[in-house]
Amino acid sequence: MANKKLKSAAGVAEDQLKAGVKKLQEQLSTVEQVAGKLATKAKERLPAAAEVTALAKDAVAKRTTRGRRSGASRTSTSSTGGSAGGATGGSTAGSRPDDSWTVADLRAEAKRRGLSGYSRKSKAELLDDLGG
């Protein structure tokens, strides 16, 4: 009789496990369907390659413009060619620094000229070193 009860308890446990497996398989199927839908939506929302290229060019142009405003020379490769300054009255190739230049402009010009220690100098010291 005890043997019969053990078999019965084992059968019940097995049935519960099978029901649990079936439930998990149904949940997995649902999750896979949702994941497929989300993947489709994500692909639809991705911009075209041409749009990404245009956005990247705009970002580079903005970064370059911002650098020019602060006096940093990002595109100039020689000390005599091209403008390193921008619309805010910052440094330009061949121009002399004056009091209207910001410390950032002066440091950028010192860096461009290859001076050392410019990051620790005051505005007055930078103007003196740059001949302003």
107 close to 97: Cβ distance less than 8 angstroms: no
Question: Residues 56-68, buried b or exposed e (16+ Cβ, 10 A)?
Answer: eeeeeeeeeeebb
pLDDT at residue 52, as a whole number = 79
CA of residue 13 relative to chain centroid, distance? 54
Taking the domains of the chain in order of start, what are their residue ranges?
49-74+84-130
pLDDT tens-digit profile of 92-111?
555 788 889 999 999 999 99
| pLDDT reading at 2 higher than 70 | no
Measured between alpha carbons, how far is residue 16 from residues 25, 27, 62, 106, 132 in Å?
Answer: 14, 17, 64, 78, 87
pLDDT at residue 83, as a whole number = 40
